[in-house]
Structure 1
Amino acid sequence: MSIWAVIVAAGKGERFGSYKPLVKIGDKYMLEYSVETISKNSKIEGIVVVCLSNYIQTVRELLKKYDLVKYVVPGGKLRQDSVRKGLLKVPESVEFILVHDAARPFVSADIIERSIDAAIQNGSCVVCVGVNDTVKRVEDGFIKETLDRDSIFLAQTPQIFRRKELLEAFENAASKRLIFTDESSLMEFYGIRPFVVLGDKSNIKVTYPNDLELVKNFINSNVDFKNLSERVYEDEKIRRMQNYFIGIGEDIHPFDKERPLYLGGVLIPFEKGLKGHSDADVLLHALIDALLGAAGLDDIGTLFPDTDPKYHGISSLTLLQKVSTLVYARGFKIQNIDMIVFAEKPKISPFKHEIISVISNALNIDKIKVNLKGKTSEGLGFLGREEGILAKAVVLLKKEEN
C-alpha cells in the first residue's frame, strides 16, 4: 500500500503578518515539525512540500536532511491549486495521498498513524474535533436555530484520499471554476463521503500571531509532545463522561376496580385501574422519578404531593411534561430511557409501541431513545396475586455546557 504526503506551506500568511513556515518555534522552524513527524511514519514513502515560490531554495536547503522529502515545489494562488501542484509530483503508482497543513506543526505521530489506518480501511480519512460550545446558525444578525453540536465537527489535517480520486476531483472543480477551502469539501462535492477520525486540540493551526504565542507557551512549558495527543484525547473522553448522569425510578400501585388503567400515558382496556391521588400511572411515575434523580432534583412526592388537591386526578403526562421542563432548564439532554412494567395482567406488549410514541412525543425526543419491557413475577408475591403493578425506569442524561 503506497502512501505519499503533500505538506502545504504556500500561504502568504497575510493574517499572520509573515511567512509562517519559516517562523522559529523552539529549536526548529514551524515547517520542520510536521515534516519530521510525517517522515517518521514507516508507511509514508515520499513527501512533497509546496511553498511560496520566492522561498523555494531556502526550504529545499532547510529540508535536505529529511530523506523522505522528494520534491519542494512552488504553490498556486489558491489552496486547491497548491495541493494539486504537489499532487502532480507524486508518482502515478501511489494509491493514497496524505495532505497536511504546515501551519499545524504539532500533529502527533498517533494521529498520523490512525489516519492512515482509517484511510486504508475506509478509502479516505479526515481528522476532526468536536465542539464544546453551543452552536448557532445566524441569519441577518439574528439567531435562526440552535444546531445539535453532537453532530458538528471541525475539520483539521491530515486528510487522506486516493490519489486518482483526489486528482479527478481537482480537475472537476477546475472545469467548473469552483473553490473549496479543504480537500474534504472538494471530495464531498465530487460525491465521496470521507471517513472521520477524532483528532485533538494540540493539533492547533497557527493563523494569527496570538496562536504562535500559544504554541510557544507549549514549548516553554516542556510539554511532552510525544504523548500530548493521547493525554488530551483521554482528558476529553473523561470530561465528556463526567457530563453523564443516571437516574433510577420505581413505583408501585394497587389495583382499584373503580378506576381506569393508564400506563405510559395510554388508556389500557382492562377491568381495573390503579389506586392513587393522580391518574396513578405507575410507569410515568417511575419515569418521572428517574428523570428527577438524574437531574439532582426532588422526587415526585415532594414536587407533586398527594396532599395538594390541585393534583387530584391529574394526568401523569402533564406531570411528565412539567418535569421535563425542569430537567431541560438545568441544561440536560435525554440520552436514553429504559423501563420495565411488572404485572401478571395486563400484558404490555400489545401497547408497547403506542406507549413509546406517547412518551417520546411528551419529552420531544426520538423514539429510538425510549425502551419498554414487560415482565411477570412468575406468580409470586403481591404481583403474582394480581394485586397491583410495579414499574421501574432508568434514565441517562447528558449535561449540556453553557
Structure 2
Amino acid sequence: MTRKERLRRILAGVFCFSLVFTIAFTWGYVKLAVPDRLNLVVSEEEIFHFTLPPGVTLESDSEEVVLGNASNIPAGKVRIQTTEPVSMYGASEGSYHLGMKLFGLIRMKDIQVDVVDGMYAAPCGVPVGIYLKSRGVMVVGTGEIVNDAGNVVEPAFGVLKSGDYIETVNGREMEDKDDLIQAVSASSGSPVSLEVRRDGELLKVELEPVLAEDGTYKLGAWVRDDTQGIGTVTYVDMNGSFGALGHGISDSDTGKLVDIREGGLYDTQIMGIEKGTSGKPGVMSGVIYYGKGTKLGEVTANTEEGIFGTVNRRFLERFQSEAIPVGFRQDVHKGQAFIRSDVSGEVRDYEIEIQKVDHASLQKNKGMVIRVVDEELLKLTGGIVQGMSGSPIIQDGKLIGAVTHVFIQDSTKGYGIFIENMLEH
C-alpha cells in the first residue's frame, strides 16, 4: 500500500467517524432538547425556545400547523432550518404532528402538537390534608420472626420485595392490613397463595405462615395500606377537577410512588412553620380534620406530576370566580413571577424570580428553577418548605406552573413544573 493510499484511507476513516459522531450527537440533542409534545392556542402565533442543530429541519405534517411567519408562508409547505427560536401558528383546534429530519431524509423525531382553545383555571395555593388508600396492601420490607420454638426465621425473604402489593390471599381480595392479618390467621399455619402486583405485573407466590412466640401466625413482612400528609392545591378548573403538589406521593420507606385505590382531600389547619436552613428543608406542620363535613374532594390519581381528582361544591365555589388564563411552556421566561400561598393564614401572592427555564426537561416536575425574593415570605418560611409543593406559579397574569421541590442546600431556591404537564391528567 502506497503512502498516498494510506493517507486516503485515514482521511476516509476520519470522515466516517465524524459523520457517525455528528449523527449520534444530533440525534441525542434532538431527543433531549426538543419536547415530545407541544400546545398551541388556536389562531395565535407562538414562539418555542428550542433551536435546531445544523442539518436538522422541522416540517409540518398538516396545513393546520404553520411554521414560521404565519402571514406569508403557505400552510403545509414550509421546511424550517434555523438556530433561532421557532414560531408556530395553529389554524384550527385538533391534534397534529411535526417531523424533525436530518439532512431532509432521516426522520429523527415526531412531535405531537395539540392546538386548543384558550384554557382557564383558578390558582388556589391553599394547604389541604391528603389521605390515600393503596390498591392492595403494600409491602414495605421483610423481617425476622421469633417462632414458638424460639428460632429466628424470615419466611417472606426472597419471596416478597419492597414495593410489592398483596392483592389477594387464597383468592380473597385484600383491602387493608386487617384483611391480611385475618387471612393469615385463618390459615392456621397452612401455606397461603398470594397474588402480588410487582412493577405492574401480577405474580402468584406461596408462603407458609409462621407461628410466632406471641401465639399469632405471621408472614414476616412489614406492610402499609395508607398514607397521609399535607400539601397544596395548585388549581381547580370550572368542572371541579383539581391538580395538587406537582409531584407524586411516594412511600416514605420504599421511595416508590404509591399505587392508590382511592383518596381524599380534607380541611387542615397549619399549626407552625419550621424555617428551612442549609442542608435541612423546612416544613409546615398541621392538623388534618377527618370529621363530618371536612372532606373537600376525591383523589383519583397519584402520578409523577401530582395528585388529581375532583373537589366538592364547597371548595369549587370558593375559587371558581378567580380563574385566569393558562400559560404553556413557551410563555414561561426568566424574570419576575409570583407564587400563591396560604402560609401566612391568608392566600397571598409572593414575588419570586424564575432563574432557569428548561423547555424540554426530561424530569417533568423540574422544568424551571425559581428563587424566592419576597422579604415577607423569606421572613416567614426561609423560602420554600415542605407542604408548599403545589403552590401555583403565576407570570404575566397567567398560571404557568407549580412549586415542586426545594434545594436542600438553599431553601430560597427550588424547582417548578410547567402547568401543562399537570393539565395532561
Q: Aligning the two structures, in what range does the TM-score lie when normalised by the shorter sequence?
A: under 0.3
- In terms of Rg, which structure is larger? 1
TM-score, normalised on structure 1?
0.26
Which structure has greater strand proportion? 2
Which structure has greater helix proportion? 1
TM-score, normalised on structure 2?
0.25
